[in-house]
Amino acid sequence: MRKGIIAFFLLLCLGFFLALYPIWVLSLTSANKIFFLKVIQPGDTFHLGYLHSIVLSDVWDSFFIDSEHRIVLIETRFQGQGAGLPYGVSPGEQWVREGDWFRITGIRRVVPSIDWRIQAEWKNRFRFQNAPEVDVSAQVGKGLIHIQTEKVRLIYWLGFYLHRAIQSK
């Protein structure tokens, strides 16, 4: 009986410790509603795609998570040129032409967070790593998505996925 109580107490302490364990996540929120929450590691990537509002061509921005869990813009890929699209490169960057696409690589711009305006006509898309892309415009409609990395407690992350699982039933 005594061993059972000790084992239960140790298990309870372990669960409490794990619940408070800090983890890094990438979060996309809209109007205080969590749209996406994923545990991240340095080296993870994500991509934001949209139809440019002036030249009406596709644009894809690629980001990676650095060793300090910061968002870093590493590449911009776009079709055509015009107002609001890149027209040159900074030192260390390369301009590449691939068929109808232009790419600027070698970018290393740390972005503290991203406020991404969503509208159906802009066909906003999100892709984490190599997962299938998500049509954000269809899921959110019109609004503002805030993208950031943050340190949260494991219990917060577990609660998000538990709540999502209950809602999907």
Domain boundaries along the sequence of the chain = 23-167
> Strand (E) positions, 9-130?
22-30, 33-39, 45-51, 58-65, 71-79, 94-98, 101-105, 109-111, 114-118, 125-128
Counting Cβ atoms within 10 Å, is residue 57 exposed (0-12), middle (13-18) or buried (19+)?
A: middle
Look at residue 150 in the predicted model and tell me its pLDDT.
94
Cα–Cα dist 124/112, whole Å? 21
Look at residue 91 in the predicted model and tell me its pLDDT.
81
Phi and psi for 16 in degrees, rounded to 5? -65, -45
Cα–Cα dist 58/47, whole Å? 13
Instruction: List the chain pLDDT tens, one digit each, 169 residues.
Output: 677 776 666 666 566 666 667 889 999 998 878 888 899 999 999 999 988 765 667 889 999 999 999 999 999 888 866 555 566 667 887 888 888 888 888 999 999 999 999 988 889 999 999 999 999 888 888 889 999 999 988 877 777 767 666 766 6
Report pTM: 0.81
Q: Which two tokens stand for residue 79?
A: 């079709």
| Among 47, 49, 36, 60, CA closest to 150 | 36
Counting Cβ atoms within 10 Å, is residue 143 exposed (0-12), middle (13-18) or buried (19+)?
A: middle
**Contact predicate 59/77, CB 8 Å:** yes
Distance of CA 101 to the CA centre of its chain: 23
Token pair 């107490």 in the structure block, residue:
9
